[in-house]
Amino acid sequence: MYISIRQANIQDTLIVSDVLLEAASWLQQRGIPLWHDSEVSPASISKDVTNGLYFIAEWAGEPAGTIRFQLEDLLFWPDISQEDSAFIHRFAVRRRYSGGKVSSALLTWAIEHAQTLGRYYLRLDCDASRPRLKAVYERFGFRHHSDRQVGAYFVSRYEYEILSQVT
Protein backbone atom coordinates (compact mmCIF):
# COMPACT_ATOMS: atom_id res chain seq x y z
CA MET A 1 0.00 0.00 0.00
CA TYR A 2 1.26 3.43 -0.92
CA ILE A 3 1.57 6.14 1.74
CA SER A 4 1.42 9.71 0.46
CA ILE A 5 2.34 12.80 2.43
CA ARG A 6 0.90 16.21 1.75
CA GLN A 7 0.84 19.60 3.39
CA ALA A 8 -2.27 20.14 5.49
CA ASN A 9 -4.47 23.12 4.66
CA ILE A 10 -6.95 24.97 6.83
CA GLN A 11 -9.72 22.52 5.86
CA ASP A 12 -7.57 19.75 7.37
CA THR A 13 -7.40 21.31 10.84
CA LEU A 14 -9.97 18.88 12.27
CA ILE A 15 -8.17 15.90 10.72
CA VAL A 16 -4.80 16.94 12.19
CA SER A 17 -6.39 17.60 15.57
CA ASP A 18 -8.22 14.24 15.52
CA VAL A 19 -4.99 12.32 14.83
CA LEU A 20 -3.18 14.17 17.63
CA LEU A 21 -6.09 13.76 20.07
CA GLU A 22 -6.30 10.03 19.33
CA ALA A 23 -2.59 9.62 20.06
CA ALA A 24 -2.83 11.72 23.23
CA SER A 25 -5.83 9.74 24.45
CA TRP A 26 -4.15 6.38 23.75
CA LEU A 27 -1.05 7.43 25.68
CA GLN A 28 -3.12 8.87 28.53
CA GLN A 29 -4.91 5.52 28.89
CA ARG A 30 -1.52 3.88 29.32
CA GLY A 31 -0.38 6.35 31.97
CA ILE A 32 1.96 8.17 29.59
CA PRO A 33 0.47 11.66 29.28
CA LEU A 34 1.83 13.62 26.35
CA TRP A 35 -0.36 16.48 25.18
CA HIS A 36 -3.33 17.99 26.95
CA ASP A 37 -6.42 18.01 24.74
CA SER A 38 -6.34 21.80 24.77
CA GLU A 39 -2.82 21.77 23.25
CA VAL A 40 -3.94 19.84 20.17
CA SER A 41 -7.49 21.16 19.80
CA PRO A 42 -8.47 22.65 16.43
CA ALA A 43 -8.36 26.15 17.92
CA SER A 44 -4.90 25.53 19.32
CA ILE A 45 -3.31 24.20 16.12
CA SER A 46 -5.20 26.14 13.43
CA LYS A 47 -2.56 28.89 13.18
CA ASP A 48 0.22 26.35 12.60
CA VAL A 49 -1.93 24.48 10.07
CA THR A 50 -2.69 27.76 8.27
CA ASN A 51 1.03 28.59 8.27
CA GLY A 52 1.82 25.29 6.52
CA LEU A 53 3.64 23.57 9.36
CA TYR A 54 1.54 20.40 9.47
CA PHE A 55 1.71 17.52 7.03
CA ILE A 56 -0.61 14.54 6.75
CA ALA A 57 0.30 10.98 5.83
CA GLU A 58 -2.47 9.21 3.94
CA TRP A 59 -2.81 5.46 3.47
CA ALA A 60 -5.11 4.65 0.56
CA GLY A 61 -6.51 8.17 0.81
CA GLU A 62 -7.29 7.92 4.54
CA PRO A 63 -5.50 10.17 7.07
CA ALA A 64 -3.09 7.90 8.92
CA GLY A 65 -0.66 10.25 10.64
CA THR A 66 0.60 13.79 11.01
CA ILE A 67 3.78 15.69 11.72
CA ARG A 68 4.69 19.34 12.33
CA PHE A 69 7.78 20.39 10.37
CA GLN A 70 9.47 23.68 11.18
CA LEU A 71 12.70 25.48 10.39
CA GLU A 72 13.17 27.06 13.80
CA ASP A 73 12.76 25.80 17.36
CA LEU A 74 13.99 28.27 19.91
CA LEU A 75 11.99 26.66 22.73
CA PHE A 76 13.53 23.16 22.73
CA TRP A 77 16.76 23.97 20.83
CA PRO A 78 17.81 27.50 21.89
CA ASP A 79 21.47 26.54 22.19
CA ILE A 80 22.14 25.60 18.56
CA SER A 81 22.34 27.44 15.27
CA GLN A 82 18.86 27.33 13.75
CA GLU A 83 19.98 27.81 10.13
CA ASP A 84 21.39 24.32 9.62
CA SER A 85 18.47 22.35 11.09
CA ALA A 86 14.86 21.41 10.57
CA PHE A 87 12.71 20.31 13.50
CA ILE A 88 9.75 17.99 13.90
CA HIS A 89 7.09 17.99 16.59
CA ARG A 90 3.59 16.66 17.14
CA PHE A 91 4.41 13.42 15.37
CA ALA A 92 1.47 11.00 15.64
CA VAL A 93 -0.01 7.99 13.86
CA ARG A 94 -3.57 6.71 14.18
CA ARG A 95 -3.69 3.44 16.13
CA ARG A 96 -5.13 1.44 13.25
CA TYR A 97 -2.01 2.35 11.24
CA SER A 98 0.51 1.60 13.98
CA GLY A 99 3.27 -0.86 13.24
CA GLY A 100 5.94 1.34 11.74
CA LYS A 101 5.08 1.88 8.08
CA VAL A 102 3.38 5.27 8.51
CA SER A 103 5.84 6.54 11.11
CA SER A 104 8.79 5.47 8.94
CA ALA A 105 7.23 7.16 5.91
CA LEU A 106 6.77 10.40 7.86
CA LEU A 107 10.33 10.35 9.24
CA THR A 108 11.79 9.54 5.82
CA TRP A 109 9.74 12.34 4.26
CA ALA A 110 10.92 14.81 6.95
CA ILE A 111 14.56 13.90 6.33
CA GLU A 112 14.17 14.25 2.56
CA HIS A 113 12.27 17.53 2.93
CA ALA A 114 14.98 18.94 5.22
CA GLN A 115 17.61 17.80 2.72
CA THR A 116 15.87 19.60 -0.16
CA LEU A 117 15.97 22.74 1.99
CA GLY A 118 19.73 22.35 2.46
CA ARG A 119 19.55 21.53 6.16
CA TYR A 120 22.29 19.49 7.81
CA TYR A 121 20.17 18.03 10.62
CA LEU A 122 16.66 16.94 11.38
CA ARG A 123 16.08 17.36 15.11
CA LEU A 124 13.35 16.21 17.46
CA ASP A 125 12.70 15.78 21.13
CA CYS A 126 10.67 13.39 23.23
CA ASP A 127 9.91 12.81 26.87
CA ALA A 128 13.13 11.53 28.43
CA SER A 129 11.21 8.87 30.39
CA ARG A 130 10.06 6.98 27.27
CA PRO A 131 12.78 4.41 26.50
CA ARG A 132 10.72 2.54 23.90
CA LEU A 133 10.09 5.71 21.89
CA LYS A 134 13.73 6.72 22.17
CA ALA A 135 14.73 3.27 20.89
CA VAL A 136 12.46 3.74 17.86
CA TYR A 137 14.25 6.98 16.96
CA GLU A 138 17.67 5.42 17.54
CA ARG A 139 16.85 2.40 15.34
CA PHE A 140 15.78 4.82 12.62
CA GLY A 141 19.20 6.50 12.75
CA PHE A 142 18.73 9.44 15.10
CA ARG A 143 21.46 9.90 17.66
CA HIS A 144 20.98 11.22 21.17
CA HIS A 145 22.17 14.82 21.35
CA SER A 146 21.36 15.82 24.93
CA ASP A 147 18.73 15.99 27.63
CA ARG A 148 17.19 19.30 28.60
CA GLN A 149 14.61 20.72 30.97
CA VAL A 150 12.09 22.80 29.00
CA GLY A 151 9.49 24.27 31.31
CA ALA A 152 7.65 21.34 32.90
CA TYR A 153 9.16 18.85 30.44
CA PHE A 154 12.42 16.93 30.74
CA VAL A 155 13.21 15.89 27.18
CA SER A 156 15.77 13.87 25.30
CA ARG A 157 16.87 15.65 22.15
CA TYR A 158 17.80 13.70 19.03
CA GLU A 159 19.34 14.60 15.71
CA TYR A 160 19.66 12.91 12.35
CA GLU A 161 22.63 14.02 10.28
CA ILE A 162 21.50 14.68 6.72
CA LEU A 163 24.38 16.45 5.03
CA SER A 164 27.98 16.57 6.07
CA GLN A 165 28.98 20.12 6.78
CA VAL A 166 31.88 21.55 4.81
CA THR A 167 34.28 23.38 7.11
165 in a structural domain? no
Number of domains in the chain: 1
142 in a structural domain? no
Along the chain (167 residues), what's the average pLDDT of each consecutive run of 10 residues?
92 96 89 82 95 96 96 96 96 91 95 96 94 92 96 94 68
156 in a structural domain? no
Q: Please list the residues that pair with 58 across neighbouring strands.
A: 4, 63
The range of the structural domain enclosing residue 77 comes to 3-124
35 in a structural domain? yes
Q: List b or e across 13-39, with b for residues whose CB sees 16 or more CB atoms inside 10 angstroms.
A: bebbbbbbbbbbeebeeeeeebbeeee
pLDDT at 165: 53
pLDDT at 27: 84
Q: Which of 101, 72, 102 is nearest to 89 (CA)?
A: 72
Q: For the purposes of burial, counting CB atoms within 10 Å of the CB of 10, is it exposed (0-12), middle (13-18) or buried (19 or more)? A: exposed
pLDDT at 99: 84
pLDDT at 163: 73
9 in a structural domain? yes
Q: Which residues 6+ apart lie within 8 Å of 101 measured at CB?
A: 1, 3, 59
pLDDT at 37: 81
Q: For the purposes of burial, counting CB atoms within 10 Å of the CB of 98, is it exposed (0-12), middle (13-18) or buried (19 or more)? A: middle
12 in a structural domain? yes
Distance CA 110, CA 129 (A): 24
166 in a structural domain? no
Q: Please list the residues that pair with 2 across neighbouring strands.
A: none
For the domain that residue 38 is a member of, what is the CATH number? 3.40.630.30
98 in a structural domain? yes
Q: What angle do CA 69, 31, 108 make, to 5 degrees?
A: 25
